[in-house]
Homo-oligomer: A and B are copies of this chain.
Amino acid sequence: MKVVLTGAAGVIGTAVREHLGNKYDFVSITRRPADFSDVVADVNDFDAIRPAFDGADAVVHLAASISVDSPWDAVLHDNLIGTYNVYEAARQAGLSCIVFASSNHTIGGYEMDGAPRIYELDDPRVYDHNAEIRPDSLYGVSKVYGEALGRYYHETYGLRVYNLRIGSVRGDDDPTAASVKDGSFWLDLTAEQKYDRMRSTWLSQRDCAELIACCLEATTVPWATVYGISDNPRQFWDLEHARRLLGYAPKDGAPESV
């Protein structure tokens, strides 16, 4: 299966190439040159990315401004325009499948209301794919849009489309690493609360790759929106829908404490 991979140089793109490189023939699109790049182009440039889709079967669309704090200009060009360009290129080239890196920030409002209590092991709240959308950011709005665009391309043109509301995939793949407790965050949490969040939201690199592979193989499931986390000790986003619908079986899980 020939699979276009946008955002191939990112944390998830790198995990996909490493874990699935032997299984699929990837066409890697990167914005800046890399030794594995097949096409160097920005997804907001339709003409530049369009040729990469010829002869492909599927696209894994990861390219985006990924910060929850992304300003409007970045959201507009990278996420709104970029996602349209990728889906339209997929349609024109006759691809049959889109896997989209959506985000939990499509429904971040529930977490904004629930934090920090929602991170605790005995909190019962779980939000699934039927939860009313509550984007917490322009970034989250752009992912709601991407999901809706995928629905349109699925219903109108018949492509299989999978919206993955991905949790926290880390470059170091370590949910307990010190950097969890550093850096900017859109919620005002203590260091301990930041880890408590990570033990709910972590998605290991191999589980992320596995979830994407489940979608590429799900020829009998034409449409799905699911959450992507590992088998963590606290889960406030539903995993059962991905397990049942796509056969996703996470192998990893964050520890209960650091």
A→B interface (CB under 8 Å): 72, 76, 80-81, 84, 88, 109, 112, 130, 132-138, 140-141, 144-145, 148-149, 151-152, 155-156
Contact = CB atoms under 8 A, between A and B. Distances in A.
A73 to B, nearest CB: 10
A109 B151 CA distance: 10
A132 B129 CA distance: 10
A135 B112 contact: no
A135 B109 contact: no
Given A80-B80, A81-B76, A149 B155 contact: no
A111 to B, nearest CB: 12
B145 A144 contact: yes
Contact of A144 (B109, B132, B144, B156): B144
A133 B151 contact: yes
Contacts of A136: 152, 155-156
B155 A109 contact: yes
A134 B223 CA distance: 12
Given A72-B88, A76-B81, A81-B76, A137 B155 contact: no
Contacts of A134: 151, 155
